[in-house]
Amino acid sequence: MTITGPRRFADVRLGDAIPGSVIVDASLGWAERARQLVESWAGVADAGVTHCRAPSPASNPRNMEARIFARHLDESRCVDVEVIGRDRGIVCASAMIRVALR
């Protein structure tokens, strides 16, 4: 996992897409893969999973998409990122990851 440097809270907007080009270890569980994607984008190593719907045993998310779902306007500077996993074009997993930005 490559961390790019701390992302600033002021630079993100609701609905912003998060590039899915980050390569995460496919042997990890879905929640951990989603968390690593967000940590790499945010440039921090302390994101937390707030909700997770794991893939069914018959599917394996091959593509990950993420977007800014919420911005917390208190002093926490947290954002919630929705990560969606798709297998053959069908949504098969989702996770909500919260991370504090700079």
Domains of the chain (ranges; CATH) run 11-100 (3.10.129)
The whole-number pLDDT of residue 51 equals 96
The whole-number pLDDT of residue 73 equals 94
The whole-number pLDDT of residue 79 equals 98
**pTM to 2 decimal places:** 0.89
Q: What is the pLDDT of residues 14-65, one digit of tens each?
A: 999 998 655 667 788 899 999 999 999 999 999 999 999 998 787 888 889 9
The whole-number pLDDT of residue 4 equals 57
CA gyration radius for the chain? 13
